[in-house]
Amino acid sequence: MCASNPAPWSSSYRLVASEKWKAKSAVLGSAVTEAFVEYSKPLANMRVLDLASGTGEPGISLAERVGPGGSVTAVDQSLELLAIASERARNKGLSNFTIQQADAHRLPFPDQSFDLTACRFGVMFFSDVNLALTEVRRVLKPGARACFAAWGPMEQPYWQSTMKLVHQRAGGNMIEAGGADPFRFGTTGSLSNALSAAGFHDVEETHRNLPWTWPGEAEEVFEYACAVAAPFRPMLERVAVEDWPAIRDEAIAAIKRYRIADEIRFRADVIFASGERINE
């Protein structure tokens, strides 16, 4: 909890947070997932790669859409998070969903293996974007599309009510220089430019403003935001223990402005972009 100095970030810390909040975080991202799945245009019998899948979305939703004649391979660097994804898929009775621990920069699949690639909130964190996108293009069949969802700019309610308020107290860099930046593609055209540079054709990009709804209390939103916000860990760990109560109170007051009934109803500015592999 952010009532005191947060614990050091680690894969196990992320796993605990993902387990604790998996039901409510699924609701939080559900509108984005649904819109992104529609944007990806999955068809029956497609073979789909879900890149940076984490705990399973949008891969699980895509598996439901492609049906038993299709398949979804969920890829992430964290085998622990993929285990959660696998369990969620089994609970839904999906036999066409498999997991594979892998790095996006070195995909362990033959050329032209997939009919569609989807990546929700992962592309911003590739250390070498061009290399990773080139790998994605390599494993797509000619005519297949790669679809990406990324955060828009930082100036939006969820982030302003959480990490921005912490930053006002912590000072220094909000995100370490050269570190993972959730808002890397928040500038219009930057993600589509990256796709074009990696050799994709018929590139398109669109901005969406979508529901981002937490089914619970403001206090939970702030705890969740601190628990899973890996790029902000250095900033969080700079905050003095005695400053946390005031930060927490200020954040909760800001978050409560978005409360309607028993939900916290933010809106999320998200970038969707896609490109096609052509015959080469």
Residue 195 lies in a domain: yes
Supply 206's token pair. Answer: 């669109």
Place of tokens 């959730």: 182
CA dist 32 and 41 (Å) reads: 14
Distance CA 215, CA 30 (A): 11
Q: Is 105 a member of any domain?
A: yes
What was the pLDDT predicted at 4?
40
Give the C-alpha distances (Å, rounded to integers) separating 18 from 118, 141, 183. 21, 33, 21
Quick check: is 125 in a domain? yes
- Print the domain residue range for 109: 11-276
Flag whether 252 is in a domain.
yes
137 touches 199 (CB < 8 A): yes
pLDDT at 5: 39
170 belongs to a structural domain: yes
Beta-bridge partners for 47? 71
Q: What is the count of structural domains for the chain?
A: 1
Q: Identify the pLDDT of residue 207.
A: 97
In order, the DSSP letters of 68-115 are TTSEEEEEES-HHHHHHHHHHHHHTT-SSEEEEE-BTTB--S-TT-EE
**Inside any domain, residue 44:** yes
In order along its 280 residues, the chain shows pLDDT tens digits of: 454 433 333 445 556 666 777 788 889 999 999 999 999 999 999 999 999 999 899 999 999 999 999 999 999 999 988 998 999 999 999 999 999 999 999 999 999 999 999 999 999 999 999 999 999 999 999 999 999 999 999 999 999 999 999 999 999 999 988 888 999 999 999 999 999 999 999 999 999 999 999 999 999 999 999 988 889 999 999 999 999 999 999 999 999 999 999 999 999 999 999 999 997 7
Q: Is 67 domain-assigned?
A: yes
CA–CA distance from 234 to each of 7, 136, 144, 178, 253 (Å)?
A: 11, 31, 39, 13, 24
The CATH code of the domain that includes 28 is 3.40.50.150
Bridge pairing between strands 47-51 and 71-76: parallel
| pLDDT at position 8 | 39
In a domain, 210, yes or no: yes
What are the helix (H) ranges across the chain? Answer: 11-28, 30-40, 59-66, 79-91, 129-139, 157-160, 163-170, 190-197, 218-228, 233-238, 244-256
